[in-house]
């Protein structure tokens, strides 16, 4: 999602520089609000990035981007609120330096310090609609955007009712991840946190490894609507699972390994992400526009205000049938899982 923000801001800067070089503007500059936020009910703190771009006839946009005072609003220039649309509940966000919050800004086009963000620790509720409101203290209209946070996801497979929950990867077959969601979640990623124990031949612990794998990085949910919501299934190929292990673990020499469990995380993003991708696709290709059309759901300026949700199915066991299948031939056999 950082790439989404980068695309927005870079396109605005390129447009600004183009205007500077090719047109004689009637005003010395024009301020363009830039906003980026993805809210999740799972987070203990929520952040909104609010910046401004300038169309300046005399200064390169790339030069402006390196001046913090040119890309951020002064602290007393705006007030930022989140509002729960149904109840009218409203809370103010405070300005913080993301670099001090554990979210440093990468070096690049934009000034990296300070890294101003707007923060609240108010809990958000899945399935509810929220409005972002940016109040400009100079009397200009408020900048607003709305989104509905995706409701809670229900994983159907692997079957969470089993004790233990199990997953099987047999050679030349696949295993499924199946879930229900509401209409407010559209694009999903599936991530595996694979915990492995490596023992000496006498059974004593040598070390533990944790591998992170994203077998499904970006998939759209299905349109199959049931009584529990939209039903989606993604196939995880066994060969892909084997290959990932081989590429990330060395052969076991005089040791053996065991799976200690896999934590499966399903994360889904809001409908605004789909609209952004659709807008980009509509302008791509050999006949597309020179610049991709900028999707925005703000009342003014550019940016995206959306939500996401996630659920984790912990401690999924790998079946003995999987181990037997892996040990049928190398290179998986060389990992010596038992």
Using the predicted structure, report yes or no on whether residue 4 has a pLDDT greater than 80. no
Judge if pTM exceeds 0.95. Answer: no
Compute the mean pLDDT over every residue in the chain, rounded to the nearest whole number: 86
Q: Are 27 and 108 in the same domain?
A: yes
Q: Are 94 and 181 in the same domain?
A: no
Span 244-254, mean pLDDT? 96
| Structural domain count, the chain | 2
Find tokens 């890294």 and name the residue: 115
User: DSSP class of residue 337?
Assistant: B
Q: In a 3-state reduction of DSSP, which class is residue 258?
A: strand
Q: Are 118 and 219 in the same domain?
A: no
The pLDDT-based confidence of 166 (bands split at 50, 70, 90) is very high
Q: Is the preceding omega at residue 331 within 30 degrees of 0, hence cis?
A: yes
Q: Are 54 and 141 in the same domain?
A: yes
Q: How is residue 126 written in tokens? A: 């899945």
Is 275 domain-assigned?
A: no
Find tokens 């509720």 and name the residue: 125
Of 113, 126, 119, 192, the C-alpha closest to 153 is: 126
Q: Which domain holds residue 19?
A: 2-149
């Amino acid at each position: 999602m950082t790439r989404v923000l980068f695309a927005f801001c870079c396109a605005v800067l390129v447009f600004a520089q183009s205007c500077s070089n090719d047109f004689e503007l009637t005003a010395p500059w024009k301020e363009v609000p830039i906003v980026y936020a993805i809210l999740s009910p799972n987070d203990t703190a929520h952040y909104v990035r609010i910046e401004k771009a300038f169309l300046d006839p005399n200064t390169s946009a790339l030069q402006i981007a390196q001046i913090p005072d040119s890309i951020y609003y002064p602290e007393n220039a705006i007030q930022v609120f989140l509002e729960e649309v149904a109840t009218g509940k409203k809370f103010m966000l405070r300005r913080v330096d993301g670099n001090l919050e554990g979210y440093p800004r990468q070096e690049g086009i934009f000034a990296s310090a300070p890294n101003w963000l707007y923060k609240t620790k108010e809990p958000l509720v899945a399935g509810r609609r929220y409005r972002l409101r940016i109040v400009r203290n100079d009397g200009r209209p408020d900048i607003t955007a709305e989104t509905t946070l995706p409701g809670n996801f229900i994983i159907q497979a692997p079957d969470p009712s089993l004790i233990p929950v199990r997953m099987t990867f047999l050679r030349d077959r696949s295993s499924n991840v199946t879930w229900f969601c509401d209409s407010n979640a559209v694009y999903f990623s599936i991530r595996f946190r694979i915990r492995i124990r490596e023992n000496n031949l006498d059974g004593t612990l040598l070390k533990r490894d944790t591998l992170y794998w994203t077998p499904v990085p970006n998939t759209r949910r299905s349109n199959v609507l049931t009584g529990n919501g939209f039903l989606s299934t993604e196939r995880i190929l066994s060969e892909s699972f084997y290959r990932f292990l081989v590429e990330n673990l060395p052969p076991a020499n005089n040791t053996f390994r065991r799976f200690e469990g896999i934590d499966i995380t399903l994360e889904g993003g809001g409908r605004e992400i789909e609209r952004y991708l659709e807008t980009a696709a509509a302008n791509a290709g050999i006949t597309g526009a020179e610049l991709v059309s900028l999707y925005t759901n703000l009342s003014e300026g550019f940016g995206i205000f959306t939500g996401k949700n996630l659920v984790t199915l912990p401690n999924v066991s790998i079946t003995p049938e999987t181990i037997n299948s892996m040990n049928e031939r190398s290179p998986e056999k060389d990992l010596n899982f038992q």
